Chains A and B, each alone.
Chain A
Amino acid sequence: MLAYMIRRLVILLLSLFLAAIVLFVLLRLLPGDPANALVGVGATPEQIAAAQAQLGSDQPLAAQFVKYLRDIVQLDLGNSFVSRASVLDEISRRLSVTLPLTLASFVLALLIAVPFGILAAVKSDRWYGLLLSVVSQVGIAVPVFWLGILLVYEFSLNLRWLPSGGFPLRGYADPARAVQSMILPVLTISIVMSASLMRYVRAATLEVLGSDFLRTARALGESHTGALMRHGIRNGAVPVISVLGIELSTAFLGAVVVEQVFSLPGMGSMLLLGIQQRDYPSIQGVLIVSTLLVLMTGFLADLLQRVLDPRLRQGGKQ
């Protein structure tokens, strides 16, 4: 297990390295010099040259790349062109919105998807089992931003229960309002996410229901529910966990859109703002940190799967 963890960590770092290369190339492919963005329109050639020297963009690409990697390794993501503030500080401030949003949505989506997915499979021959499948199919087709707007229309404009957007300036120092402003965004992401998760849970449950080992348990006197509890949950969980890593990443990306709809000061809005303002250090920082988070999620999902499935553990030794 330890050897596997180390190997998996090496893969994680390699992936991060590759992502950093892609990011470096993409940012250099964007038209225009970041120095122009730094000094603004109407700057003299001298000012631009000074800015280039300050940014290092007058250096050869190879030298720029080495400096870029060294900065990342040292967790130095630079300063914003616009606010001059440290990008890392800004990201950690924004993560305090995006991470709770993503995690809460993820947990709520699981709480919806697991029981309903199992029900849809166990009762697939009844009308309500079928209805659940249909609802989840439709749910997958619902665009996140559209659902967000719909929820705002109903719960903010019509019922006036919840704020339509924004986040308290004092943040979590104002817990009641912070939580209130999170409710609709969390609902938006988790509803859409639970629709696709439910399909995975349903498929995994159907597979377990048709399995020989469940039949064995029942042939030896275990009740249907008892057999599902004793053998079904663990066996059904393994394939679902393999998609959880991807689903959590999707939730994180969904947060980018949802933060716009609800004007939340998270990572997503920082990325979009950075692109509008050509704030290269911000864009770079957000993308590197997001990549790292997504990779870590996959890493954790893999480990969890191994803990549950002894066959994978043995495969790792060979």
Chain B
Amino acid sequence: MADLLTVSGLSLKTADKLLVEDLSFSIGQGERFGLIGESGSGKSLTSFAILGLLPASIRPTGSITLGGEQIVGASERRLSSLRGDAVACVFQEPLTALDPLMPLGRQIAGPVRRRLKREGIDSSRAAVKREVRVLMEQVRLPDPQRLFDAYPHEVSGGQRQRVAIAMALACQPRLLIADEPTTALDVTTQAEIVQLINALVADLGISLLFISHDLAVVGQVAERVMVMRNGRPVEIGTAQQVLTKPHDDYTRNLVAAARRFDAALEGGA
């Protein structure tokens, strides 16, 4: 079967700076792929390029095909019909990623209504509301009755991220991009959100592009990973191989640092 997402020879540059250089990877149907790198390594820019949401000052070259459609150079009209349908995204900071002035239920209702319309099925208020309830249960939001009318600032960080996940799932995308979805959360909540994403992706059979600087988190999610540094690919392989027997020096350092950090935490506890 053809891959859902194929990135080949992707470079991203501003007028005077090369941000991402010659990046190639692909994600198969239902595959969970991890993108690892420190901040500034170009991993988030790569996800924006896949979404077709790069700032106007950054020019992409190379090729990104998603479900057989070329993203690089595609018209805004084409891109906005692909977003939501083929790809949806969960971002890092759920507080700013949600509209502060809109109740959570209505925020989830937005993508739900778009999907129902796209599929040409009943998109009446009642139908949308029913679907929102189902999604809220799917992402295990407690007390949906109350949270439906609550505002983002009134719920916890983990609950906000669940709302963001519900919004992404509302699109029923073929590829879910999760861009550092756990970084803004505390450790316990992190584990819950990772579990939730894993379970949903497996249940719904969608592909996942999971972006993080946290090796341990990526290790729990991804089957294959790629390590990026300064906008360049460093190493790509199965999660097992890259995270336990890395070939590249940089990856080896990352893994060693993560181990030392864990050891220090355990020693200190």
In the assembly, what is the distance between CA of A222 and CA of B97, in Å?
14
CA gap between A309 and B154 in the complex, in Å: 13
Collect the chain B residues with CB atoms within 8 Å of residue A224's CB. 76, 80
- Asked if B51 is at the interface of the complex by the 8 Å CB criterion, the answer is yes
Contacts of B89 in A (CB 8 A): 216, 219-220
Name A204-255 residues within 8 Å CB distance of B.
211-213, 215-224, 230-231, 234-235, 238
Q: Which residues of B contact A314 (CB under 8 A)?
A: 153-154
A283 CB to nearest chain B CB (Å): 44
Q: Which chain A residues numbered 27 to 77 have a C-beta less than 8 Å away from chain B? A: none
B91 at the interface (CB under 8 A from A): yes
B164 closest partner in A (C-beta) = A216
A311 interface contact, C-beta 8 A: yes
Verify B101–A310 contact, CB threshold 8 A. Answer: yes
Residue of A nearest to B153 (CB): A311
- Contact at B80–A221, with CB atoms within 8 Å? yes
Contacts of B84 in A (CB 8 A): 220-222
**Cα A183 to Cα B9 with chains together (Å):** 63
User: Taking the complex as formed, is B38 at the interface, i.e. its CB lies under 8 A from any CB of chain A?
Assistant: no
B153–A219 CB distance below 8 A: no
- B interface residues, how many (CB within 8 angstroms): 31
Q: Are A218 and B110 in contact (CB under 8 A)?
A: no
Bound complex: CA A209 to CA B101 (Å): 15
Number of interface residues of A (CB under 8 A): 24
A22 within 8 A of B: no
Chain A residues lying within 8 Å of B171, measured Cβ to Cβ, are 220-221
- Is the Cβ of A216 less than 8 Å from the Cβ of B53? no
Distance in angstroms between the alpha carbons of A238 and B88 in the assembled complex: 29
A238 touches B101 (CB 8 A): yes
Contacts of A223 in B (CB 8 A): 80
A219 to chain B: which residues have CB within 8 Å? 51, 53, 83, 88-89, 91
- Report A300-318 residues with CB < 8 Å from chain B CB: 308-311, 314
When chains A and B are docked, how far (Å) is the Cα of A221 from the Cα of B111? Answer: 7
Closest residue on chain B to residue A308 by CB atoms: B101
Whether A217 lies near B56 (C-beta < 8 A) is: no
Q: Which of B93-118 contact A (CB under 8 A)?
A: 93, 96-102, 110-111, 114
A-B contacts, 12 listed (Cβ < 8 Å): A211-B96, A213-B97, A217-B110, A219-B89, A220-B114, A220-B168, A221-B83, A222-B80, A234-B101, A235-B101, A311-B153, A314-B154
Q: Kindly list the 5 A-B residue pairs having the minimum CB-CB distance in the complex, ordered from nearest.
A: A221-B84, A212-B96, A219-B89, A213-B99, A221-B83
